[in-house]
């Protein structure tokens, strides 16, 4: 059992080094300043962190990918979701767990980016907004296009009705939910009240990575 405990501890340490979403809480959401927030669809895929050289899971395990998939990936870190389509979580999860980089299913996968963690420091961005961080990746992709990197659209929240309608449209079309983030917030490590998820139900953020008797 010690082996399992050590694995879990290691996963928790790495998880605290990346952005984690909080559950939507009206008390943490400043409804007096809707324009401070951006909303986007929450994709039901597998978290992937590209460190500039390798693609890893949120538990810090390297994801084996075919060379064509990561061709033209940037030399800087990006954070996002490996995704196939709505209601295809089982397929993408099985693909990642298989460790088989030769499967043709990889051609259906896209890497959907929601942040560029170190952009403000690496590119000396004076106003460290989410929009400005994503603009770094947009500029890079103009020079080095990738068929597999997609930037998740970040839509300004106009008012409560606008937010509600967006949420309802995503759920109606069998989406998982939405993400609401403060544009002015930097990339925060660990659980952030400036990045919230709104879903019809919530799930546990844990993953069984393996065990050994002892």
Active site residue 42: yes
The candidate with the shortest Cα–Cα distance to 77, out of 8, 142, 137, 36, is 137
Tokens of 107: 């051609």
Catalytic residue among 23, 42, 53, 88: 42
Whether 183 contacts 36, CB under 8 Å: yes
Angle at 60 between CA 211 and CA 28, to 5 degrees: 110
DSSP 64: P
Give the C-alpha distances (Å, rounded to integers) separating 164 from 34, 114, 168: 12, 21, 6
Active-site residue set: 42
């Amino acid at each position: 059992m010690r082996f399992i405990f050590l694995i879990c501890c290691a996963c928790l340490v790495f998880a605290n080094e990346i952005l984690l979403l909080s559950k939507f809480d009206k008390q943490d959401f400043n409804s007096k300043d809707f324009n401070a927030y951006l909303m986007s669809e929450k994709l039901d895929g597998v978290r992937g962190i590209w460190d500039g050289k390798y693609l890893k899971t949120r538990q810090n395990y390297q994801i084996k990918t075919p060379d064509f998939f990561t061709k033209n990936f940037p030399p800087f870190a990006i954070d996002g979701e490996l995704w196939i389509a709505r209601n295809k979580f089982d397929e993408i999860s099985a693909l990642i767990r298989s460790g088989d980089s030769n499967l043709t299913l990889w051609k259906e996968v896209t890497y959907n980016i929601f942040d560029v963690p170190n952009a403000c420091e690496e590119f000396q961005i004076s106003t460290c907004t989410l929009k400005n961080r994503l603009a770094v990746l947009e500029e890079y992709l103009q020079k080095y296009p990738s068929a597999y990197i997609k930037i998740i659209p970040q839509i300004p929240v106009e008012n409560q009705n606008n937010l509600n309608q967006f949420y309802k449209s995503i759920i109606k079309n069998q989406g998982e939910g939405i993400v609401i983030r403060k544009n002015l917030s930097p990339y925060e490590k660990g659980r952030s009240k400036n990045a919230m998820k709104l879903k019809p139900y919530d799930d546990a953020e844990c993953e069984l990575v393996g065990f050994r008797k002892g």
